[in-house]
Structure 1
């Protein structure tokens, strides 16, 4: 009997040890952190845009997983290829100056090791692009069951594709959720603000691509307050545009995104009286019920020419993209 107990205990210790080893291996990164912020040139020979208008799309592409995003479904490689073909076709119709993307994969297993940033940047002939990694793990065991749908090797983040020269690029981590246990937070992504400085003619413009916390309300509000303060400080020196998935519907209790509507120095693609109308909802794409995606700008420097929620993109992602054309005012 004692021998059986010893064997059971030994087997238990071995199993626990293997689980611990797997955990520390799985949460380790694929890339050096110094490589988490990069600028890539696609068509650097392309003449820079010198117009006073900026056309912008902000799009959480959900790694092109459509409505399967974060569900226990493993789409086929052909599914992703079709979604890439579809999204490129839609992008080519708009030919914007700046394309800000969230939840874009840089070669992770869940999207069959395709560097979506590289494919989109080259296919659309952008001058250059900035990328920021926000999720880098050897193995992410999510969705939890069955194991065949695990994300596996994770390499994902945010990116901005630009037809303007990119003069600066910075990856800034936003505040983390503190209420989750260690094993959860160790596997969780970083929430980011990606900052680039571009040159529009002779005018420098600061452009932000952000993706705030989705699940913890207090953390999200804290992040949005930080972003608003940063926006206002920089807008005293130069024009500012901030776009992205704010994960904050205006109808939420204490909705963080409404803080951007409380200051006349900040303008929005969608005026406050039009918030959360049927034509402004962006999520989910099978039946949109929330407005999570926004484009903001400094009112001292820009005015809105036109804007829209691009529902024609369909269910390539679980979000619809938002589009805006801004005109630079003559700065006295």
Structure 2
């Protein structure tokens, strides 16, 4: 009887060891995509610090941010990415779309891990706007436990379907220029059933098959915020959510993913 019990204990210990080993081979990441509406809620009340504290509480590994101000008049001349980095204790990067109100307007990232090789990529606007003919994507190489991942964030056109389709093709072209696994986040201003998102998902795997609604923040009726990854690196999605916080006109979209 003692021998049977001993064998069972040994078998149980072996199982625990194997499971621990397999988990060690996988990488769990918490990713967030958040359109921060220049650090203000829909009534233009400054909520930047509240956003920072919320992000810190969520404990993400990497965050892609859209509609970010850098020392613009409307947002009190604050370097918003620097301020968010101070609150969260994370690394940060910013690239601008264009000059705006004495500063710049663009996209940014926060990362728990070191950020390398930050690069802006141009997304053309087919219909020229008051601020120019293009906006920027942010591309950055992030080192996670000695492995490099290409992290990108973008804000596609809200007003022109043809421009969004063009921006999808430009995005896919840029992504094809490297051999690194990709995590792509953004406010893409299109719902999952549109041609432009369908095209994007032919090359990148969505983390959200349920279509979690993210806009507008008060009564979210559609999904326009995304986290997508290279299909070869995703083992499974543990959880997706859009926490009901009203610091912006969008809800943040969060995904907890396990990479192979």
Distance 2:38 2:56 in 1: 19
TM-score normalized by the length of structure 2? 0.83
| Equivalent pair of 1:194/1:208 in contact (CA under 8 Å) | yes
Structure with higher helix content? 1
CA contact (8 A) 1:239 1:302 kept: no
Cα gap change, 1:51 to 1:84, in 2 (>3 Å): farther
> Aligned pairs, how many?
236
From the two aligned structures, give the one with the greater strand fraction. Answer: 2
| Aligned counterparts of 2:86 and 2:109: Cα–Cα separation in 1 | 13
Question: Is the alpha carbon distance of 1:192 and 1:120 closer, same or farther for their aligned partners in structure 2, counting shifts above 3 Å?
Answer: same
Alpha-carbon deviations, 1:275-316, whole Å to 9, x = none?
3xxxx11111122122111001012112233232323222x1
Unaligned runs of at least 5 residues, structure 1: 1-49, 69-74, 138-151
Q: Using a 3 Å threshold, how does the CA distance of structure 1 residues 100 and 233 change in structure 2: closer, same or farther?
A: same
Instruction: State which of 91, 115, 126 in structure 2 corresponds to 1:177.
Output: 126
Confirm or deny: 8 A CA contact 2:53 2:87 kept in the other structure. no
Correspondences of 1:36-55 after superposition (within 5 Å): 52-55=27-30
What does the per-residue CA deviation read over 1:101-151, in whole Å, with 9 as the maximum and x for residues that have no partner?
11111110111112111111011111x2111011203xxxxxxxxxxxxxx
Question: Using a 3 Å threshold, how does the CA distance of structure 1 residues 190 and 313 change in structure 2: closer, same or farther?
Answer: farther
Q: Could you tell me the TM-score, scaled by structure 1's length?
A: 0.66
Task: Work out whether residues 217 and 245 of structure 2, in 8 Å CA contact, stay in contact via their aligned partners in 1.
Answer: no
User: 1:260 and 2:200 equivalent?
Assistant: yes
Conserved? CA contact 2:150–2:183, under 8 Å: yes
Tell me which residue corresponds to 1:292.
Answer: 224
- The answer to whether 1:161 aligns with 2:110 is yes
- 2:38 maps to what in 1? 63
Are 2:49 and 2:84, in contact at CA under 8 Å, matched by a contact in 1?
Answer: no
Contact 1:131 1:159 (8 Å CA) reproduced: yes
Change (3 A) 1:210 1:307: farther
Q: Of residues 66, 74, 77 in structure 2, which corresponds to 1:113?
A: 77
Helix, strand or coil at the partner of 2:221: coil
What RMSD in Å do the two structures reach over aligned CA positions? 2.1
Gaps of 5+ in 2: 1-24
Which one has the largest radius of gyration? 1
